[in-house]
Amino acid sequence: MRAVDIHSRKLASEFKITSPQLLCLQTLHDDGPLTTSALAKLIHLSNSTTVGILDRLEMKEWVIRERSQRDRRIVLVHITPEGEQALKDAPSLLQERLATGLAALPEKEQLAIAQALERIVEMLEMTRTEAAPLLESGPIIETQPELPDPGLPQVAARNTED
Amino acid sequence: MRAVDIHSRKLASEFKITSPQLLCLQTLHDDGPLTTSALAKLIHLSNSTTVGILDRLEMKEWVIRERSQRDRRIVLVHITPEGEQALKDAPSLLQERLATGLAALPEKEQLAIAQALERIVEMLEMTRTEAAPLLESGPIIETQPELPDPGLPQVAARNTED
DNA sequence: TGGAAATGTTTCGTGTAGAAACTTTTCCCC
DNA sequence: GGGGAAAAGTTTCTACACGAAACATTTCCA
């Protein structure tokens, strides 16, 4: 946990981007233009929080907001080319480091790690009454075509929607 | 990571204590009365940040500050009985849930999990130039006397002191 | 057509975070 | 002994994240 925390701060000071901002960018990159509330749902933050983050991203010209013509309530948020570049430059939320490291491990160990993490997530959820979305990204290693996809036991994507 | 994040917010809303505050309290409980800067070092936050957290903890009367008589620059921070109680009431930084869960697992699986986590910490440190304290708490399971201490491979406590 | 619902935003308060400036106190060297 | 240097804690400042509540606009629908 402290590792993640420290990484997050390092990110902010070195790459001028914070974790939530990076998460937004990444989500916009992956899932195309999104409405504000759709984005908020995807990253599990409140609407108002998301607006703030988008404000900062827009200031840096990494995203643009575009009002829909058909339904003028709706605002579509796009990632800009500059935003894409920023995404490339910044280490992607620890994932890159992890992905590289994991890819280098023997398949058997990857499996063991996946199972261990699954156990832990299980435990964290143990006493929960209301379901919370915990891990819903796809497989940890996804953009590593050289891997034969050993069929990591997918952490069951609990899409217990709100 | 999201699990930790969500837990942190749950903590704040349900137990009126935030993660950094809980971390402070825990540290004060474990390592006796501490000076402000010593505490700041232990929890790896800046001095000014720590002062703010201590202010809030003092407002809730969970800690008290006491100026040393011998060296009047020094302020010793003590945890109060109320603070101890708060510590007991709040789920201890996920640790309790984890500890309980881990204790229930077969020894072999505990070992596997420990090794997996060790691998991950390794990866997170991989590209680091400057050493950062990552995991320095003791064994994950420590207050579980019913466990015969199966000799979990301790994640090497990197006390690469600043 | 009028009210309900949806959508995005603003406002407000709290908390974390660190840099820089500042106060008080102690230490040490000349 | 006096005059800085150093140490310790605090204050001030700025930025960011976070969510609740109020708000404006727009659309939908009965």
Q: In whole numbers, what is the pLDDT of chain B averaged over residues?
A: 73
- Strand B34-35, strand A63-67: pairing: unpaired
Report the gap between the CA of B136 and the closest CA in chain A (Å).
Answer: 10
**Enclosing H/E stretch for B77:** strand B75-79
B27 vs A108, more confident: B27
A79 contact partners, CB below 8 Å, separation of at least 6: A25, A28, A29, A33, A62, A63, A87
CB contact under 8 A, B132 and A3: yes
Please tell me whether any atom of strand C lies within 7 Å of the Cβ of B33. no
Q: Return the number of CB contacts < 8 Å for A and B.
A: 87
Q: What is the pLDDT along chain A (162 residues), one digit of tens a residue?
A: 666 677 777 778 888 899 899 999 999 999 979 999 999 999 989 999 999 999 999 999 999 999 999 999 999 999 999 999 998 887 654 556 666 777 777 777 788 878 877 777 677 655 433 333 333 333 333 333 333 333 333 333 333 333
CA distance B157 to B155: 6
Q: A148 CA, D15 C1': separation in Å?
A: 44
pLDDT at A47: 96
Q: Which of A91, A10, A99, A3 is nearest to B121 (CA)?
A: A3
| B124 vs A3, A113, A121: nearest CB | A3
Q: Sheet containing A34-35: which strands, arranged edge to edge? A: A34-35, A75-79, A63-67
Question: By the 8 A CB rule, do A98 and B73 touch?
Answer: no
CA angle A20, A24, A28 (to 5 degrees): 170
